[in-house]
Structure 1
Amino acid sequence: MKSEFSFQVRWGDTDAAGIVFYPNFYKWMDDATHNYLAIIGYPSSKLFAEHQIGVPLLEANCMFKRPLLFEDQVVVESFVEELRNKVFKIKHEFKKEGQMVAEGYEVRAWTSFAGKPKAQPIPNYIRELMVSQVEILEG
């Protein structure tokens, strides 16, 4: 399952040179992950309110290929690249006018917040929604 998250670069996203300040890519990856969960039918607010489940970040990385500027239109294509028992890796491809400008990933843990936070196995009904384009790994 692949999702798309679109936005326009705002003035406040840029530095003094008019180029997007790099931490914004990490913010947009977070936004794109929550968008992905909503598209598969499990928005973060519903997961937490109904199941006390969250997906805290364990690792993030982003490689920058071309700059983004104020008012650029951006599409982030996201998909789960690896799926483990309790953890998933979601890849994000940033595109402007169809050209890749950056790519990154996040590693997140399926976590219960009922009591002390603890990683839980990702339920099979959620896994089935994530499995296209995924390398399933043991562990």
Structure 2
Amino acid sequence: MITQTMNKTITFTQQVEFGDCDPARIVWFPNFFRWIDAASRHFFVQCGVPPWHETEKTLGVIGTPLVDTHARFVKTASYGDVLQIHTHIAEWRAKSFVMRYRIMRGDDLIMECDEVRIFAAHREGDNASQPGIRAVAIPSEIRSLCE
């Protein structure tokens, strides 16, 4: 089941530092992915989701690893810029969700990105001896906090 949504949008602010840039003074592209990963966790915290070490004890959920990403870079950013990363969940699926990011500098769109993430738990049963994770159904407690 897929549910399209336009739920809460949470904004994460990021100041671009000199060390975030390449010799051409533009943000080195992997930094955008580092910042949107931070914005993802910030989204859940602002929605009231407990830290992952707590959800592991109560729900078995150890986090929301990334399984797919699509990005579009529109404009460059440089040191001194203050970026706003607007984050929301665009789509809920049975065991995954699409998190959407729009990175803005004021009214200028810098980058947009969609990530598919899962709610993960440690392997159990016959696979427990093998390290790794498995996707689990999206906990209703977490989904209701994010809507």
Deviation digits for residues 10-34 of structure 1 (CA, Å, limit 9, x no counterpart): 1111000000011111111101100
Instruction: Normalising by structure 1, report the TM-score.
Output: 0.86
Aligned pair partner of 1:8 in 2, 12, 15? 15
For 2:103, what is the secondary structure of its paired residue? strand
Give the equivalent residue in structure 2 for 1:61: 70
**2:141 corresponds to 1:125:** yes
1:25 maps to which of 32, 35, 38? 32
Q: 2:110 aligns with which of 101, 116, 121?
A: 101
Q: In 2 relative to 1, CA 82–14 (structure 1 residues): closer, same or farther, beyond 3 Å?
A: same
Identity %: 27
Aligned residues between the structures:
131
| Residue in 2 that maps onto 1:90 | 99
* Superposed CA offset, 1:39-81 (max 9, x none): 1111445434654421111011211111000010000000001
Find the aligned partners of 1:20 and 1:67 in 2 and give their Cα distance. 7
The superposition leaves residues 57-113 of structure 1 with CA deviations (integer Å, 9 ceiling, x where unpaired) of 101121111100001000000000110111011000000012211100111011112
Would you identify which runs of 4 or more consecutive aligned residues in structure 1 move more than 3 Å?
43-46, 48-52
How far 1:129 moved relative to its partner? 2.8
TM-score where L is the length of structure 2: 0.81
Give ranges in structure 1 of 5+ residues lacking alignment.
Answer: 132-139
Unaligned runs of 5+ in 2: 1-7
Partner Cα distance (1:4, 1:45) in 2: 24
Structure 1 distance, partners of 2:108, 2:14, is 15
SS at match of 1:104: strand
The root-mean-square deviation of aligned C-alpha atoms, in Å, is: 1.6
User: Which segment is superposed worse, 12-21 or 114-123?
Assistant: 114-123
